[in-house]
A and B are shown apart, each in its own frame.
Chain A
Amino acid sequence: MNTETARLRVKTWICAVVVVFSNVFGNFFMKRGMPPQLSTPVEYITVLFRPWVSLGVLLMILWMLSRMALLSWADLSYVLPVTSVGYVLVALAGRIWLHEQITARRWTGIVLIMAGVALVGGRTAPRTAGAGQ
């Protein structure tokens, strides 16, 4: 593995970790701060100023920016499955902190997602040579 490939691999993994965790905690904090009902357009704006929702939104902004950075050098068809590990972590956050019920079928789905992520993330290069040039 040459230096350029190693540099890209390390940068890709650091960025992917930021993308995943900002997404998981952004979603979690937003759900935590969300009221049971939003009836008027004004409420959609005012709810953004609740502390938990604000924190969630800030993390979602970090998620979007880190994801854009990642997409500047990695393929979308690589980024999508690798960052999908976030679905598993979101389900766990819902189970542990929001006491949501997760059935055996959902856990099976989680295992399939992990398998898919391992398959794509472990063996293929982050970037298609010359794609989109």
Chain B
Amino acid sequence: MKWMWIAIIVAATTAGEVLQAMGMRRHGEIRDFRPGAIGRAMAVLARNRYVIGSVVAMAVSFFAYMGLLTIADLSFAVPATAVTYVLETVLAKYVLKEHVNGLRWAGASLVICGVALVSL
């Protein structure tokens, strides 16, 4: 049961975060943090189909995460869902076309190893 929740969370989170990055990249850098400007930015983002897709995926992930939290320790639940790192770094390179250099790969690999140890 625990691993079923984790599988749903990982798939939904990965899809949600990559869509979110695509949507925000398309929107461009947010420079103005005054409430009115943030409201206007949110109104624009609410019509961004990548952002809409990411919110749906994140909602699925959120309710699955609630299911997981009822049966698992916090210090297990949070690191276990970090399996998403592997998928996301690969997708950052191949879908988002980011230049993932050697240092970033090394750092991300260390983080992945650490996360694996924490979750075992």
Contact: A116 with B107, CB < 8 Å? yes
Q: Which residues of A contact B24 (CB under 8 A)?
A: 68, 71-72
| Contact pick for B28, options A60, A72, A116, CB 8 Å | A72
**Residue-wise interface mask of A (25-45) relative to B, using a CB-CB cutoff of 8 A (1 in contact, 0 not):** 001101100111110000010
Which DSSP category, helix, strand, loop or mixed, fits chain A's interface?
helix
**B45 to nearest A CB, angstroms?**
8
Contacts of B8-46 to chain A: CB distance below 8 A:
17-18, 20-22, 24-30, 33, 45
Query: Is A73 in the interface zone, CB < 8 Å from B?
Result: yes
Given A68-B24, A128-B99, residue A100 in contact with residue B118 (CB < 8 A): no
Within 8 A of A (CB), among B82-115: 82, 85, 88-89, 92-93, 96-101, 103-104, 106-115
Chain B residues, CB < 8 A from A90:
74-75, 78-79
Instruction: Select which of A31, A47, A113 is within 8 A of B118 by beta carbon.
Output: A113
- Interface positions of B from 46 to 98, Cβ below 8 Å from A: 51, 58, 62-63, 66-67, 69-71, 73-75, 77-79, 82, 85, 88-89, 92-93, 96-98
Chain A: how many interface residues by the 8 Å CB criterion? 57
Does A73 contact B103, Cβ atoms closer than 8 Å?
no
Min CB gap B75→A, angstroms:
4
Interface size on B, residues (CB 8 A): 58
**Nearest chain A CB to B110's CB is how many angstroms away?**
3
Indicate whether A76 sits within 8 Å of B88 (C-beta atoms), given known contacts A84-B115, A108-B117, A119-B107: yes
Given contacts A80-B111, A91-B75, 11 further A-B contacts (CB under 8 A): A36-B71, A71-B21, A72-B24, A80-B88, A87-B115, A90-B75, A94-B74, A98-B73, A98-B75, A109-B117, A112-B113
**Can you identify 23 A-B contacts, CB atoms within 8 angstroms?**
A30-B69, A64-B58, A72-B25, A72-B27, A72-B29, A73-B30, A75-B96, A76-B17, A77-B92, A78-B104, A80-B88, A80-B89, A80-B92, A90-B75, A91-B118, A98-B75, A100-B75, A102-B75, A106-B117, A111-B114, A112-B111, A112-B114, A124-B104
